[in-house]
Amino acid sequence: MKEIFERVSVRNYTDQPVEREKIEDLLRAAMCAPSSGNERPWHFLVLEQKEKFLPITQISPHVEMLREAQCAILVCADTTQKKYRFDFWPQDCSAALENLLIEAKHLGLGAVWCGIYPDEEKIRALRTLYGLPDHVEVLAVVPIGYPAYERQVKDRFHSERVHIGDWQHVLTPGTSYVTPQYEEEC
C-alpha cells in the first residue's frame, strides 16, 4: 500500500479548503482501527474555523502549522470505556490516528500528528477551551490541509533493527530480509 510508504508529516498547506466528504473519510478510517477489548474509546473534535483551532497555538509551542491549516482534529478518548486494569486508550487512539494520517495521504491531503498526551497541563487547557469533561483525555491535535509542496520520501528500512530468532541475530546494514545476512550483536 503506497500510502504507508509515502506518508510524511505535512506542515505547510495551501488555501484550498478541505471538503466535508474528505473529513468524514478521515474519521471513518480512524474508527476502523483495532482497539483493546474493542473498547473503541476514541472521540474526535473537528475544528473547521481558524478562530476555533488557532487558540491551540497558545497552549502548545509545537503547533505553529495550525496558522496555515484548513482544519484540525483533536483526537480524544473517553476513559470511562475502560474494561481492563490497564489504560489502553493511548494505544487505541494512536492506532486510530495513524489510520487517519494514512487516509489523509490517500486523499491527497497533508496532516501531522501533534502530540498533547501525556502533558497534563496541555490537556487541562484543552478541556477548558473546548468544554471537554474530566474523563476525556486528549492524545493529539492533527492540523490538516492540502500540501503546499511534496516532500521526497526516503527508504526507511533499517535492516540492523531487524532481529531474527533471538536478539543476537541482527540483519547486516543494507541487506534484506529475503536473503538474510547476519551481523552478530551482543
Ligand X SMILES: Cc1cc2nc3c(=O)[nH]c(=O)nc-3n(C[C@H](O)[C@H](O)[C@H](O)COP(=O)(O)O)c2cc1C
> Which residues here bind ligand X, judged by CB under 6 A?
8-9, 11, 62, 112-115
Report which secondary-structure segment, H or E, holds 73.
Answer: strand 71-78
- What type of residue sits at position 61? P
Nearer to ligand X, 55 or 115 (CB): 115
Residue 181 near residue 159 (C-beta atoms within 8 A): no
Could you write out the DSSP letters of every residue in 154-178? -----GGG-B-SSTTEEEPTT--SS
Q: How far is the CB of 164 from ligand X (least distance, A)?
A: 25
Q: Which is nearer to ligand X, 148 or 164 (CB)?
A: 148
Q: Which is nearer to ligand X, 105 or 170 (CB)?
A: 105
Q: Smallest distance from the beta carbon of 42 to ligand X, in angstroms?
A: 16
What is the rounded distance in angstroms from the CA atom of residue 139 to the CA atom of residue 121? 13
Query: CB of 183: closest distance to ligand X in angstroms?
Result: 26
Cell of 183: 551481523
Query: What minimum distance in Å lies between the beta carbon of 61 and ligand X?
Result: 9
User: Quick one: 115 or 180, whose CB is closer to ligand X?
Assistant: 115
Closest residue to ligand X: CB criterion: 115
Residue 11 or 106 having the CB closest to ligand X: 11
The whole-angstrom separation of Cα 73 and Cα 52 is 11
Q: Distance between CA atoms of 76 and 79, rounded to whole angstroms?
A: 9
Q: How far is the CB of 3 from ligand X (least distance, A)?
A: 13
CB 73 within 8 A of CB 141: yes
